[in-house]
Amino acid sequence: MAKKDILKDALLTDDGHKATLLTKEGLVNLKEELDHLKLVKRKEVAARIKEAISFGDLSENSEYEEAKNEQAFVEGRILELEEKVKSAKIISDKHTTKSVQLGSTVHLKNLTKKRDELEIYTIVGSTEADPFDGKISNESPVGSMLLEKAKGDKIKVIVPAGNVEYEIMKLV
């Protein structure tokens, strides 16, 4: 199966919609945030709105406006998280170490900067990406170029800082 077909299948839910690619840990974190917003934050914002209404004249009530804006943000985030949880597809932690896949941890040597220190990244879905924590998206320039590559392969990537060349030193 071609790289494009594998990625296409991984990016869709069973009903053909775009999947949210997550690790098990990432899904747990999304569910925790969703629960917090529904069970805690909603009540806090409702209490702020009720208190602001008690101050009277809503046309010049900045507390009321601020609380309503926060309510809109919270409700929007709840809808976004519910959709992500509903379309979640778990990235398998059981994968071959012959080629880079979603969930793979890759040790890279930066050939452009000629450093001895390796850069270590785990390939995750865009929802969980956090380059400062060593998690890069499969949709990022580096992440997308690494997919299906093997130990010893070299890749050239155009990133915001310019052109960079990496060599894959190790796959986990």
Would you say 70 and 77 are in contact if contact means Cβ atoms under 8 Å apart?
no
Q: What pTM does this model have?
A: 0.70
Ramachandran angles phi, psi of 159, nearest 5°:
-120, 170
Instruction: Check residue 23 and give left, alpha or beta (phi > 0: left; psi -120 to 50: alpha).
Output: beta
- Give residue 133's pLDDT band: very low, low, confident or very high (50, 70, 90): very high
pLDDT at position 135 is 93
| CA-wise closest residue to 67 among 40, 99, 44 | 44
Q: What percent of the chain lies above the pLDDT cut of 90?
A: 57
What DSSP string describes 115-139?
-SSPEEEEEE-TTT-BGGGTEEETT
Domain 105-171 of CATH type 3.10.50.30: yes
Mean pLDDT taken over the chain: 87
Please state the domain extents for the chain: 24-90, 105-171
Residue 32 or residue 159, greater confidence: 32
- Give residue 1's pLDDT band: very low, low, confident or very high (50, 70, 90): very low
Question: Alpha-carbon distance 121 to 111, whole Å?
Answer: 16
- Give residue 41's pLDDT band: very low, low, confident or very high (50, 70, 90): very high
Would you say 14 and 6 are in contact if contact means Cβ atoms under 8 Å apart?
no
Domain 24-90 of CATH type 3.40.50.460: no
